[in-house]
Amino acid sequence: MNIQPKHTEPLILSGRDVTAVLGPTNTGKTHLAIERMVAHESGIIGLPLRLLAREVYTRVCEKVGAHKVALITGEEKIQPDGARYSVCTVEAMPRETDAAFVAVDEVQLAGDLERGHIFTDRILHLRGRQETLLLGAATMHGILQRLLKGVSVVTRPRLSHLAYAGSKKLTRLPRRTAIVAFSADEVYAIAELIRRQQGGAAVVLGALSPRTRNAQVELFQSGDVDYLIATDAIGMGLNLDLDHVAFAQNRKFDGYQYRNLTAAELGQIAGRAGRHLRDGTFGVTGQVDPLDEELVKKIEAHDFDPVKVLQWRTARFDFANLDALKRSIETNAPVEGLTRALPAVDAQALEHLSRDEDIRALATDARRVALLWEACALPDYRKIAPAQHADLIASIYMDLARHGHVDENYMAEQVRRADTTEGDIDTLSHRIAQIRTWTFVSNRPGWLADQAHWQEKTREIEDRLSDALHERLTKRFVDRRTSVLMRRLRENTMPEAEISPTGTVLVEGHHVGELQGFRFTADQSAGGEDAKAVRTAAQKALAAEFEARAERFGAAANGDIALGSDGTLRWIGAPIQRRVPS
């Protein structure tokens, strides 16, 4: 697909041939965008998360064939020759294109303090030749009409009902529940409790790689576990078979401060419950106070305060010198309804690097200044201090400026440090953040002498680390025995029982206890929901065995039965009854 930037055209805020499709979650907006895109000869769709871009890419490939579809994110590029459709993260979308169709999903993120300016830029600048769709919450209705004169707004109702179910204890939450918290420590603590009480839980955090998140989601979707413990990462388009969403926390750190979630944010997450025509519920759990009546009404009716301003940053950078670039970044918003964004990670890095004499000595012309700004776009996957992140960018930039590419030995050493699957959950999560940094570097045009090699190498390492992390999460938070047994009981299928010559009982390959004669003794290590599952599965699986043994006992020869001096009646050596003195 041909994507050509157009230069020096004046900013014209027009809504001509633009349709805003607005509504709450579960209104089929993304599905509509996919259908509209493949009806055109070419198109681009932008999603807020790499995970969602991957999901939509797969769906588009199924419709038109993988040879016609490109996937473009900061860390991954699949670009077949002659691809007609591009699925991107919003950050990876071009600012202008000659594609016939363009869609931007979750446009309400234009109000986000961290990433909002990127969404705003695409909303204002990016247009399809024939059709442009802006998808998002109804809170964007007024601001889009103010900024984009002539925009057509279509509202879509939710397909199912969402109702408040009040407060419930963590151990009393219904099956098919997502429990929402806002820190990894809290997510892990809740998952540990659910494992002990309910047999297991899947976890979804923004810090997980897409491969790990997909594997954890599949645990939940397949029914292996009935509970999903997640951050607000589930609020953006993940389609899950959820019946209930329970908030275990309602405060989060937004990158600048700890604050209560807004009604719209609560609604975005709660709306994951109940998909298509199936109704859903939401509520609170743990230490969270019950939601007040006014807030509940807003969430149930999807009636939230409108977005009043969008975050904005100029796209016309002055690369004459470092100081000129910094001044241009600080340009004030040109029209009412836009506000200049707070310094993002790239601007913070630039501010730090502009004070470095070695950097200033290299950034002496427009080309070198532009190259530095390009290097500053490196995301802070590791969530480290701004100065540390800037130091990493400095190392990369100095190689690019001096040698034209990142030093191969430096790259190899950084990648080697992440290339081991040893360690616990936190260690593996940190390594994935490290390798994602170098995956991003390997996907930047011209940054490496052997780009294809490093793309393949970093992707292979990320996949192995992701698989190892999924295995550690599952081992820690899922009791496989309870999970398998409860699944078989729900399906109302007869579990397979295997009894060894010594009386050991395995159900579906899992040890559940011992059977001696007609007496079954459940595994003493089982407790809580696990013990209940073991007993119920064993009773069901051994029912036929008890009947068969009763028939054999009835037909047994006298020599097979003996009464011991201790009053124990034995059948072929197995105790079946004990005589108690009267």
Question: 180 — phi, psi (to 5°)?
Answer: -110, 125
Average pLDDT, rounded, for the chain: 88
Neighbour-count burial for 387-411, b at 16+ CB within 10 Å, e otherwise: eebbebbbebbbbbbeeeebbeeeb
Neighbour-count burial for 333-368, b at 16+ CB within 10 Å, e otherwise: beeebbbbbeebbbbbbbebbbebeebeebbeeeeb
- The amino acid that residue 51 corresponds to is L
With cut-offs at 50, 70 and 90, classify the pLDDT of residue 532: low
Report the alpha-carbon distance of residue 55 to residue 43 in Å, rounded: 17
Contact call for residues 541 and 507 (beta carbons, < 8 A): yes
pTM of the model: 0.80
| Residue from 116, 206, 210 nearest 439 by CA | 210
**pLDDT, tens digit, 9 for 90 and up, residues 13-72:** 788 889 999 999 888 899 999 999 999 999 999 999 888 898 899 999 999 999 999 999
SS (H, E, C) 249-318: CCEEECCCCEEECCHHHHHHHHCCCCCCCCCEEEEECCCCCCCCHHHHHHHHHCCCCCCCCEEECCCCCC
Tokens read off for 185: 């420590």
Is pLDDT of 508 > 70? no
> Stretch 383-392: mean pLDDT, rounded?
92
| Residue from 108, 132, 137 nearest 120 by CA | 108
Tokens read off for 274: 């109940």
Could you give the percent of the chain with pLDDT greater than 90? 66
Residue 316 neighbours by CB distance under 10 Å:
8
**pLDDT, tens digit, 9 for 90 and up, residues 183-226:** 889 999 999 999 888 889 999 988 788 889 889 999 999 888 99
Can you tell me whether residue 89 is helix, strand or coil? Answer: strand
| Residue from 260, 228, 233, 259 nearest 245 by CA | 228
**pLDDT confidence of residue 6:** 39
Can you tell me whether residue 116 is helix, strand or coil? Answer: helix
Report the alpha-carbon distance of residue 523 to residue 514 in Å, rounded: 7
**pLDDT confidence of residue 7:** 41
| Residue from 350, 412, 354 nearest 375 by CA | 350
CA torsion 378-12-100-111 (nearest 10°) is 50
Eight-class DSSP state of 469: H
